[in-house]
Amino acid sequence: MPQDETHDWEFETICQHAGEDYSHLGAVVPPLFQNSLFTYKSAEQFHSRIQNWESWDYTRVNNPTLEVAQQKIAGLERTELCRLTGSGMAAISAAVMNAAHAGDHVICTTAAYGPTIALLRDYLPQFGVQTTFVDGTDLDQIEHAIQPNTKLIYMETPGTFFFDIQDIEAICSLARSRGILTALDNSCATPYFQKPATLGVDYVVHTVTKYLGGHSDVVAGAVCGSRDRIRDLIWKEGLILGAVCDPFAGWLITRSLRTLALRMERHQSSALQVAKMLASHPKVERVYYPGLESHPGYAIVKKQMTGTSGLLSFTPKFQQKEKVFQFCENLRLFQIGCSWGGHESLAIPVTAEPRSTQWHVRMSIGLENVNDLMTDICEQLDRC
């Protein structure tokens, strides 16, 4: 299928058809090119390959199996190109390092994923990149943090513990007016519920390990953006830092994308039911879920998202560490694990110091029957 056709298709159609160049074989599943190398018919063709990078050459540059998934994700994010990487952190570091160089300044939300903060706070200063961390929900804080050398504003909305919501359009318009680039981690919402590039974001990054992969059997990342930006990233951070996605992971990602819309609908509807149940439970102090009207970012959610996925947190009234740990351990249908976005339900105890010394439980609501999940949660809350 010519890639341009994808621009007229709806989400579910892109998931099925974009990037599938193998229909002439009658194959309903594209082949897996696990090879590292692609050869040339002539020395002349080899010699001129740099002008024609889209031909297959070497898997660190590109690979036809990866390209199927890349075209689907680019289409879903409404961007021109997508580059798959070996992990979400590879995508985030490639995007940040593509945008910001020695002497540049970055602004980042404090709600960003921990290793993203570590990259900006602890790692990049050795290469002359400094970062100011702000409450990303406060546009004034972002504006006040802008310096003459600010090159990038990095967003993560919703955040993945307390679901801080940043106003993407407002931040992008502020950034544009000052000639500043923007990047956004869209892993929690996925393009099914939020399309940051349509609101002005320059680099949309993902941990594909989560909802896009969806089955907890892939570690990968993605950077999406304009043709020029992503090509530049492929030749710099892709080629030199080399955090390439394995073709088999790419093949699994294509498999996963076919059910992304269905999975996200189910994750969302189950999480909303669980969130509402928890909000009225006598043993629960507070629920954090951006789909609840009580969430502080709800008005912006309604403006920029079409749904709110399957992650939520709550603060139990019982605050003894042992009881919170016991609650997580006693759940029969939730496992204890740090990732999220897969088919399985997960629950972890968290504190959020210095912001809060309280104990919370973060849940990733999986694809099990929601009544079974709610029964499990209620039974264990009753025991605490």
Binding site for ligand PLP (CB under 6 A): 87-89, 113, 160, 185, 187, 207, 209, 219, 221, 339
With tokens 């002005």, the residue in question is 200
Amino acid at 182: T
246 vs 376 by CB, closer to ligand PLP: 246
Q: Could you tell me whether strands 311-316 and 81-85 are parallel, antiparallel, or unpaired per DSSP bridges?
A: unpaired
Report, in Å, the least distance between residue 112 CB and ligand PLP.
Answer: 8
| Pick from 116, 282, 262, 281: nearest CA to 184 | 116
3-state secondary structure of 295: coil
CB of 207 to ligand PLP, least distance (A): 3
Dist. CA 304–CA 350, nearest whole Å:
28
Question: Residue 117: which H helix or E strand, with range?
Answer: helix 114-118
Instruction: Give me the DSSP letters along 206-272.
Output: EETTTTTT-SS----EEEEE-HHHHHHHIIIIIIII--BPPHHHHHHHHHHHTTHHHHHHHHHHHHH
Shortest CB 244 distance to ligand PLP, Å: 14
Give the nearer residue to ligand PLP in terms of CB position, either 273 or 339. 339
CB of 209 to ligand PLP, least distance (A): 4
Q: Which is nearer to ligand PLP, 113 or 154 (CB)?
A: 113
Q: In whole angstroms, what is the distance from residue 345 CA to residue 350 CA?
A: 16
**Closest CB to ligand PLP among residues 185, 376:** 185
Instruction: Look up residue 82 and give its two tokens.
Output: 């997508």
Phi and psi at residue 112, to the nearest 5°: -70, 160
CB of 26 to ligand PLP, least distance (A): 34
Give the shortest CB-212-to-ligand PLP separation in angstroms: 10
